[in-house]
Amino acid sequence: MSVEQVFQNQTEEAMQQDLKTMDPWKVIVEAAQAMGIEIMKPKPNCKKCHGRGYVGRHSDSGEPIACTCIFPKQKFDREIGEIPHKPMNRAERRAMKKKG
């Protein structure tokens, strides 16, 4: 092994030790900022994370697993207006056929 590979292995091990000792919520916030992802504060009544913002940790790396409650809800295409309304019931379908 070269000196660079040994140094890189040592820094990776140090980073993993830091991940295991750091507060999981701080790790998630820093990772989201680095990736440019918008996150919200965890919901205090969340059934998965109980307001912590993370569900658990990966056993091999120690990285926290983010809960889905911290990510903003995506708008549906119908709310945005990109997809036209498809008739849902029989009367609407018949009216659409008459229109052409």
pLDDT for the residue 22: 85
What are 25-63's pLDDT values in tens digits?
Answer: 998 998 899 988 889 999 999 999 999 999 999 888 888
Highest mean pLDDT: which range of 6-10, 32-36, 71-75, 76-80: 32-36
> Is 44 in contact with 51 (CB distance < 8 Å)?
yes
SS3 46: coil
Residue 67 has a pLDDT of 93
The SS3 of residue 38 is coil
Report if pTM > 0.75.
no
